[in-house]
A and B are shown apart, each in its own frame.
Chain A
Amino acid sequence: MTGFSAFRLLAEALRGNRGWTPHWRKAAPGSHYDVVIIGGGGHGLATAWHLARACRELRIAVLERNWIGLGNTGRNTTVIRANYLLPSNQRFYEYSLRKWESFEQDLNYNAMVSQRGVLNLWHSDGQRDAHIRRGNTIRLSGGDAELLDVAALRARYPFLDFDNARFPIKGGLWHGRGGTVRHDAVVWAYARAASDLGVDIVENCEVTGFEIEAGRCRAVQTTRGRVAAERTAICVAGSSGRLAAMAGLRLPIESHVLQAFVTEGLKPFIDDVIGFGAGHFYISQSDKGGLVFGGDLDGYNSYAQRGNLPMVRHVCAGAMALMPAIGRARLLRSWGGIMDMTMDGSPIIDRLPVEGMFLNGGWCYGGFKAIPGAGDCFARLIASGEPPPEIAAFRLDRFQRGRLIDEAGSGPRPNLH
């Protein structure tokens, strides 16, 4: 692989761009690997790259049932941030955000990492107190948070409905290092770098079962034949329950649908990511000009990758309450992604009760921003068998031990997190 550089761009421009080659090899599945990673999204490919980089001798395959990046990596709203309240979450997401900051240099790829900032608004005294507490917690943990008053907000966001009769804006918590990343480019970058290190990326290869003998996983059955593996790692958030069922396991996870939306392209209008505090609604503007926004889960179990119209109306009502100007924009597309919603709203990265099997899942709707951090930590877990400190709290048995990480405080109700 030849690296990307300004010189290379210039040279290719002069040669009619005939020198570019495919980013990754189209591999056929081998019969035996040291590590098989199931799922060719951001998490699976990041894990493969980190593992291949740390342990060059390992034979690694990534099995993807479709084309890579066609699942949730291509369906999210591209936001990255580390503004959590609970220490175990904040520690991990801060770690991941630092990895985003060096992502483009580490992978020699332009993923349009843009730390444009994330703003969360509040509308009542109670919310103000909660945001001040959150801001203080983030700063104490070494992250960044800044309180903005209404005067500062009015100067920066003249288009918001500050005097909304029901949800007047009273202030906001600013997280300047948050932002957005081009989601497809993340997958392409990891696939290119992993393939270059010898990882087999096998597309259109669906896992249909596991060969488990005496409590140990020996191989995976796929639509393209049997693949023996010393270690099997599951990175299929959204479908973790389905894969676990094939291994005879039940997980503290329900699969739910979350919808996202994009308007027609507009001139630059929203500089950063803005979150409404009175309902679940957040919005940013892509570099192409479309307003990208999302809101709540539909609220029922689903694997359909599409939602229903009541939630479209609910999210758009939130948009209108926050910024009435958006009513003039036309909605271009909406789509649904399947979320691994856990019982406490936090992820699970751990060994499974079957020897040789590992799980990275339960990301709820926070999986995209976790990609570089989770890829690194999951690779370390697979290599050593022990979870590194950044993910030490995300164990599978925390539910039995009462060590839940319930950021929203809504109890064991996956559709409320």
Chain B
Amino acid sequence: MRIPHPDLGLRDIEEFTCLGDACLCERPQASADHRDFCDYLYLRDNPAGPHRELWFHEHGDQSWLIVTRDTCTHEILSVEYADMRPTEGGRP
């Protein structure tokens, strides 16, 4: 599996670490309920098909990418930079 990095082209997955579902970018507000934080931390859609996920280019340019990948075929459908600007809820 190779990931088409937006600026660096096709890179081998050995350069990356996968963190998991990109829903981790949508952290609840600090004032949110305990249940919302539990759902955020533990529950996943875990789809069979297209899946938006966070990959870290650890042995590369240290960028965080959001990769949309089909979990049934491993085909990569799109890649974009993750928005790492601080939000009200804080960063993942």
Contacts and interface: CB of A to CB of B under 8 A. Distances in A.
A2 to B, nearest CB: 42
Interface string B4-25: 0000000011100111110000
6 contacts: A250-B44, A255-B48, A255-B71, A301-B18, A301-B51, A304-B74
B10 to A, nearest CB: 14
**Dominant SS at the B interface?**
mixed
Contact of A251 (B21, B43, B74): B43
A308 B13 contact: yes
A367 interface: no
Interface in A218-241: 239, 241
Interface footprint category on A:
20 to 34
B45 A250 contact: yes
Given A308-B13, A414-B20, A254 B72 contact: no
B47 A245 contact: yes
A310 B13 contact: yes
A241 B48 CA distance: 9
Given A303-B71, A304-B71, A310-B12, A252 B44 contact: yes
A303 B71 CA distance: 6
B41 interface: yes
B44 A415 contact: no
Given A254-B21, A302-B71, A308 B1 contact: yes
Given A304-B72, A400-B38, A299 B18 contact: yes
B46 interface: yes
A413 interface: yes
Contacts of A253: 44, 46
Interface residues of B, number: 28
Contacts of A301: 18, 20-21, 46, 51, 53, 69, 71
A303 B44 CA distance: 15
B57 to A, nearest CB: 14
Given A254-B20, A255-B71, A300-B18, A399 B38 contact: yes
B45 A245 contact: yes
Interface in A242-266: 242, 245, 250-255
Nearest to B37: A400
Nearest to A305: B72
B58 to A, nearest CB: 12
A239 B42 CA distance: 17
Contacts of B74: 302, 304, 308
Interface string A301-318: 111100010100000000
A345 to B, nearest CB: 13
A241 B38 contact: no
A309 to B, nearest CB: 9
Contacts of B71: 255, 301-304
B14 A412 contact: no
B13 A252 contact: no
Contacts of A399: 38, 41-42
B85 interface: no
Nearest to B43: A250
A264 B69 CA distance: 35
A301 B71 CA distance: 6
Interface string A387-417: 0000000000001100000000000111100
B73 interface: yes
A399 B34 CA distance: 12
A308 B14 CA distance: 10
A283 interface: no
